[in-house]
């Protein structure tokens, strides 16, 4: 039996196919990073992309503070197994602390500043309180239960890098640093267009050979989920001239124009002819990818262009790979693609090596932990497997048939489709 080389990343039956990584690299070359900037409130910054590096304005914590409710004192005050200290003050979070002298303790609460003269805190559960005194029993560890100034974040430390897409964690850090506003990139404007004589819109009559348009609503939703300014470019019939006119108009207002349908090389596929008529520079990518082998990428006027296949699963996979690489470049990030999370499968899956393949999969709970069940190929035009799945399993091009216990990379739908 002939061994399959692990590094092989092209389809052995068609050496003209390029790897998915190479396709993403080529597609990104047609994209010019945005330079439009906005100064916005932190409250509005969720999902936005940072323009520049953010450095810490202050140390965190900004002062030595208590890590819990208890009593603060100098460790040198403890002379024996049981030591009685006078409770000289009560310090809550937000209260300036008076200094302590030897033999004194302060009642402190979580987040309260540590008074001068104290270097240790003991938990309230580990002491005895007698009137205005507290008895410290047993050995103590000097410096315990303190949060030292700057132990979390040092003043001037680099916190966030340019190109970072902000989520709730980043907003918490910015707020803790006293930022009320931040500079971000303007939202990339992405126009989505459906092409095809067979397409009908909700409310229209469905003929014997027509279907309702599902790609455009799906891609518009994905674009909005990724924090993009999504523009509904409508639907255009299979006419190269009509498509060219629509693309030219959208290229004046969008940073990226995306079409679905007509991205293959058949005589009924009109994307390339429309681009040529529009004066665009473009190329057809024939990828070692399943589903979604063909895609058209290019540039028309000031906008980048991406032509996706018409089958919905193919369009989804191409958007999440090649499309994400182009959007990353728009946002000034390195146009790599996400690798997914390695997971063990519980399924048998027959396939030939040669292409990167994405298939619907769902998570199953087993005695050995979470495992992945592959739901079958589903087919590039079938939507039902997507709603039954928790995400997509990515199978490496070098892999042949899979068996239970093998590993794949998993791309969850929940939170995993963001660019």
For 321, the token pair is: 């790979």
Strand-pairing partners, residue 71, are 107, 122
Residue 419 — very low, low, confident or very high, per pLDDT cuts 50/70/90? low
Any idea which of 10-14, 91-95, 192-196, 301-305 has the lowest mean pLDDT?
10-14
Q: Which CATH class is domain 20-37+186-330?
A: alpha beta
At residue 72, the pLDDT reads: 96
**Hey, CA dihedral for 108, 112, 117, 122, is it positive or negative?**
positive
For residue 3, the model assigns a pLDDT of 32
CATH of the domain spanning 65-147: 2.170.190.11
CA distance readout (Å), 52 to 185, 192, 304, 325, 399: 10, 29, 24, 20, 41
CATH superfamily of 38-60+151-185: Molybdopterin biosynthesis moea protein, domain 2 (3.90.105.10)
401 vs 270, more confident: 401
Q: Name the average pLDDT for the chain.
A: 90
- The verdict on whether omega for the bond into residue 291 sits within 30 degrees of 0, i.e. cis, is yes
Contact 312, 286 (CB under 8 A): no
Domain boundaries, the chain: 20-37+186-330, 38-60+151-185, 65-147, 341-412
* Contact call for residues 18 and 285 (beta carbons, < 8 A): yes
**Span 110-125, pLDDT tens digits:** 999 999 999 999 999 9
For residue 79, is pLDDT > 60? yes
Rounded to whole angstroms, the Cα distance separating 259 from 202 reads 19
The token duo for 400 is 């042949």
Q: Which CATH architecture has domain 341-412?
A: Beta Barrel (2.40)
Contacts of 332 (CB under 8 A, 6+ apart): 33, 34, 49, 162, 163, 185
Residue 337: the pLDDT is 80
Identical fold for domains 38-60+151-185 and 65-147, yes or no, is no
Residue 322 DSSP label: I
The rounded percent of the chain whose pLDDT value lies above 70 is: 92
Check: CB of residue 160 under 8 Å from CB of residue 170: yes
Rounded to whole angstroms, the Cα distance separating 366 from 346 reads: 10
């Amino acid at each position: 039996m002939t061994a399959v080389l692990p590094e092989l990343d092209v389809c052995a039956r068609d050496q003209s196919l390029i790897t998915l990584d190479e396709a993403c690299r080529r597609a990104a070359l047609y994209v010019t990073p945005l330079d439009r900037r906005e100064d916005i409130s932190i409250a509005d910054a969720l999902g936005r992309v940072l323009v520049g590096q953010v450095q810490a304005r202050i140390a965190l914590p900004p002062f030595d503070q208590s890590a819990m409710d208890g009593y603060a004192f100098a460790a040198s005050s403890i002379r024996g197994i049981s030591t009685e200290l006078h409770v000289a003050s009560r310090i809550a979070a937000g209260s300036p602390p008076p200094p302590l002298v030897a033999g004194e303790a302060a009642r402190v609460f979580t987040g309260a500043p540590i008074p001068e003269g104290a270097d240790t805190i003991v938990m309230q559960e580990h002491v005895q309180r007698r009137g205005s005194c507290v008895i410290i029993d047993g050995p103590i560890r000097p410096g315990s239960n303190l949060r030292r100034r700057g132990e979390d974040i040092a003043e001037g430390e680099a916190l966030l890098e340019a190109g970072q897409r902000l989520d709730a964690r980043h907003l918490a850090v910015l707020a803790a640093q006293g930022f009320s506003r931040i500079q971000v990139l303007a939202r990339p404007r992405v126009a989505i267009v459906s092409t095809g004589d067979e397409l009908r819109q909700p409310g229209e009559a469905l003929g014997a050979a027509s279907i309702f348009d599902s790609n455009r609503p799906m891609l518009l939703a994905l674009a909005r989920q990724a924090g993009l300014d999504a523009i509904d470019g409508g639907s255009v019939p299979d006419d190269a001239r009509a498509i060219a006119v629509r693309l030219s108009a959208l290229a004046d207002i969008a940073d990226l124009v995306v079409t679905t349908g007509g991205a293959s090389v058949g005589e009924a596929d009109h994307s390339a002819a429309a681009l040529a008529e529009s004066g665009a520079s473009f190329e057809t990518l024939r990828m070692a990818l399943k589903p979604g082998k063909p895609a058209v990428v290019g540039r028309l006027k000031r906008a980048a262009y991406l032509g996706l296949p018409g089958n919905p699963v193919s369009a989804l996979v191409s958007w999440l790979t090649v499309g994400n690489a182009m959007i990353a470049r728009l946002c000034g990030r390195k146009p790599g693609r996400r690798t997914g999370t390695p997971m063990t499968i519980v399924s048998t899956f027959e396939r030939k090596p040669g292409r990167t393949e994405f298939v619907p999969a769902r998570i199953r709970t087993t005695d050995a932990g979470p495992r992945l069940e592959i739901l079958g190929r589903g087919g590039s035009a079938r939507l039902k497997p997507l709603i039954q799945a928790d995400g997509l399993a990515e199978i490496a091009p070098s892999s042949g048939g899979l068996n239970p216990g093998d590993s794949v990379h998993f791309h969850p739908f929940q939170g995993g489709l963001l660019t």
